[in-house]
């Protein structure tokens, strides 16, 4: 009996970890890197042009898109939205906008809403990435090869050695900027796109309040995934095989976030250059 239980728990843990790593590992890693780059972009821009400058020049687009992503996903999961401000900068606490909602109770009838709070919290990552993808389609001649390159890199990043992944990411960066500047540097299209990318990239990541609000939903998702795997094992299915299916489902989301990450890396370099140059311009004046 003990031996069978130990085998069951081992198979359950192995299947669950495989699904997390292959199905969501790269997606979560890219989301984390997006959050980190966004915070550094905001910090460098703050040093270069001050809080008022960041709010004025980037917040007008990035903040409404951020809050609208929260709102739409909340509505999708039937979460009761009590108040929403897409763009209302507060000079006292630094809040640029917000979405307030009734916190769902942890009971069966509201379980979908609890899960929705987690997805609602991370929604700005995907809302921002989707906006950038749409803007890229509007401002470049043919982004299809770039999307294919991003898919190839996502596959490469799951199994290749780190040096090969680094080279692949470099190729992806080159492909992104060649696509953006396909009409040449004298065209207005790439510069408009890069400005929009900066606006979105500086406000892309979920806030700490967003993540705290969705923590219960994240735990519920983990428990439900464990339960589904346990049922599959008891019915003599192989839940470990579901990892590849999950990877195919999350693949398009990963591609969107990868492209947003490449753009945020470029934005980070630009913001760092502005932060370095701003004091020198000030001394010259």
Instruction: Please tell me the pTM assigned to this model.
Output: 0.87
Asked if residue 165 is part of any domain, the answer here is yes
With CA atoms as reference, report the closest residue to 262 among 193, 164, 161: 193
Asked if residue 105 is part of any domain, the answer here is yes
The token pair at 119 is: 């997805």
Number of neighbouring beta carbons within 10 Å of residue 238: 10
Residue 78 belongs to domain spanning = 26-214+247-276
Q: Residues 78-109: pLDDT tens digits?
A: 999 999 999 888 766 667 889 999 999 989 89
Asked if residue 240 is part of any domain, the answer here is no
Asked if residue 9 is part of any domain, the answer here is no
Strands (E), the chain: 81-85, 98-101
Q: Residues 251-284: pLDDT tens digits?
A: 888 888 988 999 999 999 999 998 988 775 554 4
DSSP string, 210-273: HHHHTHHHHHHHHHHHHHHHHHHHHTT--GGGHHHHHHHHHHHHHHHHHHHHHHHHHHHHHHHH
pLDDT value of position 93: 64
Give the up-direction half-sphere exposure of residue 129: CA atoms within 13 A in the CB hemisphere: 24
Counted domains in the chain = 1
The token pair at 170 is: 């470099």
Question: Whole-angstrom Cα distance, residue 263 to residue 143?
Answer: 14
8 Å CB contact between 221 and 115: yes
Question: Whole-angstrom Cα distance, residue 55 to residue 165?
Answer: 36
pLDDT value of position 248: 80
Number of neighbouring beta carbons within 10 Å of residue 209: 11
8 Å CB contact between 159 and 25: no
Asked if residue 20 is part of any domain, the answer here is no
Asked if residue 52 is part of any domain, the answer here is yes
pLDDT value of position 159: 74
Write b or e for each residue in 92-120: b if 16 or more Cβ atoms lie within 10 A of its Cβ, otherwise e: eeeebbbbebeebeeeeebeebbbbbbbb
Number of neighbouring beta carbons within 10 Å of residue 203: 26
Higher pLDDT residue, 78 or 208?
Answer: 78
Asked if residue 219 is part of any domain, the answer here is no
Residue 221: pLDDT band (50, 70, 90) is: very high
Higher pLDDT residue, 99 or 250?
Answer: 99
Asked if residue 239 is part of any domain, the answer here is no
């Amino acid at each position: 009996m003990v031996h069978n239980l130990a085998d069951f728990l081992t198979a359950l843990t192995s299947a669950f970890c495989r699904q997390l790593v292959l199905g969501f590992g790269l997606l979560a890693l890219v989301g984390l890197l997006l959050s980190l780059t966004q915070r550094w972009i905001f910090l460098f821009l703050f040093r270069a042009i001050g809080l008022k400058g960041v709010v004025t020049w980037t917040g007008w687009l990035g903040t409404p898109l951020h809050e609208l992503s929260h709102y739409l996903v909340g509505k999708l999961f039937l979460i009761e939205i009590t108040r929403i401000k897409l763009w209302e900068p507060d000079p006292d606490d630094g809040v640029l906008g917000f979405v307030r909602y009734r916190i769902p109770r942890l009971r069966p009838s509201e379980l979908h809403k609890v899960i929705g709070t987690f997805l609602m919290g991370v929604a700005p990552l995907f809302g921002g990435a989707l906006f950038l993808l749409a803007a890229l389609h509007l401002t470049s001649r043919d982004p299809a090869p770039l999307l294919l390159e991003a898919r190839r890199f996502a596959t490469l990043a799951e199994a290749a050695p780190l040096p090969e992944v680094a080279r692949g990411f470099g190729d992806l960066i080159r492909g992104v900027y060649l696509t953006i500047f396909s009409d040449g540097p004298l065209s207005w299209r790439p510069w408009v796109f890069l400005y929009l990318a900066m606006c979105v990239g500086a406000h892309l990541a979920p806030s700490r309040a967003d993540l705290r609000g969705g923590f219960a939903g994240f735990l519920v998702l983990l428990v439900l995934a464990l339960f589904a795997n346990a049922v599959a094992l008891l019915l003599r299915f192989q839940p470990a095989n579901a990892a590849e299916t999950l990877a195919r489902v999350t693949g398009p989301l990963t591609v969107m976030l990868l492209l947003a990450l490449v753009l945020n890396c470029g934005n980070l370099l630009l913001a760092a250059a502005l932060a370095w140059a701003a004091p020198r311009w000030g001394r010259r004046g």
